[in-house]
Structure formats: C-alpha cells, structure tokens
Structure 1
Amino acid sequence: MSAHHNDEHAVHHDAHGHEDGHAPSTFKGYMTGFVLSAILTIIPFWLVMGDVLDGKSATALAVLGIGAVQMVVHMVYFLHMNSRSEGGWTLLALIFTLVIVMIAMAGSLWVMYHLNTNMMPGPLHDMHSMS
C-alpha cells in the first residue's frame, strides 16, 4: 500500500510541474537568492551615498537597472518562475503583464507631455500683444 501511495504522490507531484519546473527549493537555493538580493540592495545605496557616478541621471539609470536585476532574482529564487513552471503559463502571464504596464506607462507619459505642451500659455510677450 505504501508503494502505491508513493506512486500516486509522484504522479500528483509531476502533474503540477514541481519536479523539473521550479528552481531548487532548497536551503542553498534560498540562501543564494538572499545573498544576491542583499548585494543588489547594497550596491544602489553605495552608488547614491558615495556619489560614485558622475551625474544624477547615470546613477538613476544604474539603480533602475540593478532594481530590474533584483526583480529577476526574486522571481527565480523565491517565486520559482521559469519557462517550465506551470507549462510556461506563469512566464507568459508575466510577459503579458509587463507589456500592459509598459503600454500604460508610455501612454500616461505621452498624455502628460502633450497636456503640458498644449495647455501651458505661450511666452509672456505674446500675451501682452493680445491686450
């Protein structure tokens, strides 16, 4: 009976994609993710507090890039997302979400830029010549 139970558990375990579909859920895997996350948190603090890079925009881009890398580390090591988990549907859902967020952000910035450009009054000398 225990052999039959173990076989059922193995089939159930494989059916949910836990066998090969996830990053290792071991102490070593979690510690690797933790160390990478800590390093990727310390570097931006060092960049900002030490005024390491020349300009503010370069520092901001570096911090944003490191933040993107840290998001990937969290997804792989803590959320166990990869192309094989759940038959690839979690990765597809993530990509779809990112595309929608990028469209919403780009559209919002476009609208705000054009509202600012079209709604602000012209130079002051144009306003004086109208009166």
Structure 2
Amino acid sequence: MSTSHTSSSGESHGSVASYVIGFVLAVILTVLSFAVVSTHSLSPTGTLGALSVLALVQVLVHLHYFLHMGGSSEQRWNNIAFVFTVSFVAILIVGTVFIMTNTAAHMMSR
C-alpha cells in the first residue's frame, strides 16, 4: 500500500510523512521566531532581519510541503500562476504606498 495519495486527475497530494515533516519544520520555525523576539538577544534591526529570514523560510516550507509546489514540469503552471499573483500583489502594495506617501507629502505642503 502506497502512502502517497493521488486525486482523480493523477496529481500527487503528498504522503503522511511529508506532511509531518512540513508540520515539524513549521513548528520549529515558529518557535524560533518567538524565541528571537522574547529573548531580546538581538538589536531591533537584527531582530527584524532574523524574523524576515525565518518568515521567508516558513513560506518556502509551506509552499513545498503543504501546497506541493516544486520544480517539476507538472508544477509549471502552478508556479507561473503563483509568481503572477505575488507580482500583482507586490505592485498593488508598492503602488498604494507610493500614492499614499505622495498624497500625504502634497497635503502637508499646503
């Protein structure tokens, strides 16, 4: 009996072991994030940098182990859609911050 599950379209949903590994890594990264903040062992800039790195690794763990996004050719369209979505959201956020900053600067000059 195989521990990998497939859907009716033949896509792999991962194994129980894969989900357990992802869960354990996610918990470890979360505990590390809390430890960095609660111990105050780093400077504020160092804390922000460490949390940023831990958050990026956490996102990659979730993408790989829970969303099953990998480098295989079967995942190409999923990866393209993900990159498009992230790009769109980044443009939206950067544009919003730019507009709000520009508006605030022009309102203060009057």
What residue is the counterpart of 2:99 in the other structure? 111
Asked if residue 34 in structure 1 is aligned to residue 11 in structure 2, the reply is: no
| Aligned-pair identity (%) | 34
Secondary structure in 1 aligned to 2:14?
Answer: coil
Moved over 3 A (4+): none
CA distance in 1, matches of 2:50, 2:97: 21
TM-score, normalization: structure 1?
0.68
**Structure number with larger C-alpha Rg:** 1
Q: How far off its partner does 1:89 sit?
A: 0.5
Asked if residue 49 in structure 1 is aligned to residue 38 in structure 2, the reply is: yes
RMSD: 2.3
Structure with the bigger percentage of strand: 2
Contact 1:30 1:78 in 2 (8 A): yes
What residue is the counterpart of 1:89 in the other structure? 77
Please, which moves more after superposition, 83-92 or 32-41?
83-92
More RCO (CA 8 Å, sep 6+): 1
What residue is the counterpart of 1:10 in the other structure? none
Q: Structure 1, unaligned stretches of length 5 or more?
A: 1-12, 123-131
Alignment length, in residue pairs?
104
Tell me which of 68, 72, 77 is aligned to 2:65: 77
Q: How far off its partner does 1:83 sit?
A: 3.0
CA distance in 2, matches of 1:82, 1:17: 16
* Cα displacement string for residues 52-76 of structure 1 (whole angstroms, at most 9, x for unaligned residues): 2112x33123212211211111111
CA 75–114 in structure 1, closer or farther in 2 if over 3 Å, else same = same
Q: Structure 2, unaligned stretches of length 5 or more?
A: 1-5
